[in-house]
Amino acid sequence: MSKKKKQQKRARFNVASSVVLVVAVCVFVFSLYQLVSMLVPYYSGGKIYDEIKDLAITADEDGSGFQVDFDALMKENSDTVAWIRFDEPAIISYPVVKSADNNEYLTKTFTANDNKLGAIFMDMRNSSDFSDRNTFIYGHHLNVGGEMFSELLEYESESFCKDHPNFYIYTPDGHVRTYTVFSAGVVKDTADNYKIEYASDAEYEEYLKLCQDSSNYTVDVELNAQSQIVSLSTCTNVRDDERFLVQGVLTATD
């Protein structure tokens, strides 16, 4: 092979190598951009809720003496109706809001910033004072960070439920409502488990039985027509038409 042909071949190789390198760099930069774009909302949203907790919550390191400053929360957002918290060490510890549109807080944080974390919110059809037979509260299941209602998926395990049987609702009137989990499992988003109104005591008792039957496990707790429950709903991130539903019955009010 002549020297000229070798030089031409080497030149073509160098050009091809340069093109491959440029493409690889572009792919890397684009992938990095995509990754940063995905992670930034989780970080900024998490920071917002950390600041809200610093503003409104006082508690000892072990979680005892937990108190909520609802005046401070109301100044930040007049849609505030409660604070929800699980047993320590709890990831789920957030203000609960309610608006006239169930879609509003899917992409808006407690402080009204547009963010994929959204907020923990009560169904617009429910009474803000938790006086309904069944109060629905919704929150996102996040693939990164484990915030909002992601921790609900831990209740797939019966042993986790036994170790963390209760969650707590703090209300602006100063009461703390304790709920004991009686049902946890995957349901369709159109299932009767999402029924919110009942024509009679018998219909409500049938509903409670349905929820128990839908659970991954059986919990020994009394349920009857006078029971007040809270239903916590989040996505499974497996199928678009599935939800993970954790339901607790009111067992104490302080």
In a domain, 185, yes or no: yes
Domain CATH number, residue 161:
2.40.260.10
Residue 231 lies in a domain: yes
Q: Which residue, among 184, 181, 183, has the nearest Cα to 156 in the 3D structure?
A: 184
H-type helices in 57-148, by residue range? Answer: 70-76
pLDDT: is 79 or 28 the higher one? 79
Q: Residue 145: what pLDDT?
A: 66
Contacts of residue 136, defined as CB under 8 A and 6 or more positions apart, other chains included, come to 122, 123, 125, 126, 194, 196, 230, 231, 233
> Residue 79: CA atoms inside 13 Å, Cβ hemisphere, count?
21
Q: Is residue 14 part of a domain?
A: no
Residue 1 is predicted with a pLDDT of: 57
Question: Worst-scoring range by mean pLDDT, 20-24, 35-39, 186-190, 222-226?
Answer: 35-39
Of residues 140, 141, 161, 164, which has the active-site annotation? 140
CA distance 129 to 70: 14
Q: What is the mean pLDDT of residues 15-21?
A: 53
Residue 24 pLDDT > 70: no
Q: Assess contact for 134 and 160: CB atoms under 8 A.
A: no
Domain with 103, as residue range(s), is 54-253
Distance of CA 250 to the CA centre of its chain: 21
Q: Is residue 125 part of a domain?
A: yes
Residues 6 or more apart in contact with residue 196 via CB below 8 angstroms: 123, 125, 126, 132, 134, 136
Number of domains in the chain: 1
Catalytic (active site) residue 140: yes
Let me know if residue 33 belongs to a domain: no
Query: Is 20 inside a domain boundary?
Result: no
Enumerate residues 6+ apart whose C-beta is below 8 A from 55.
69, 72, 73, 76
Q: Please check whether residue 42 lies inside any domain of the structure.
A: no
What does the pLDDT read at residue 32?
A: 34
In a domain, 112, yes or no: yes
* Spatial separation of the C-alpha atoms in residues 132 and 125, rounded to whole Å: 10
Task: Establish how many alpha carbons lie within 13 A of residue 176's alpha carbon, considering only the half-sphere containing its beta carbon.
Answer: 11
- The mean of the pLDDT values for the chain is 86
Q: What is the pLDDT of residue 115?
A: 86
Q: Is 235 among the catalytic positions?
A: yes
Out of 161, 164, 211, 235, which one is annotated catalytic? Answer: 235
Task: Give tens-digit pLDDT for 113-149.
Answer: 888 889 999 999 999 999 999 999 999 998 766 789 9
pLDDT of residue 26: 40
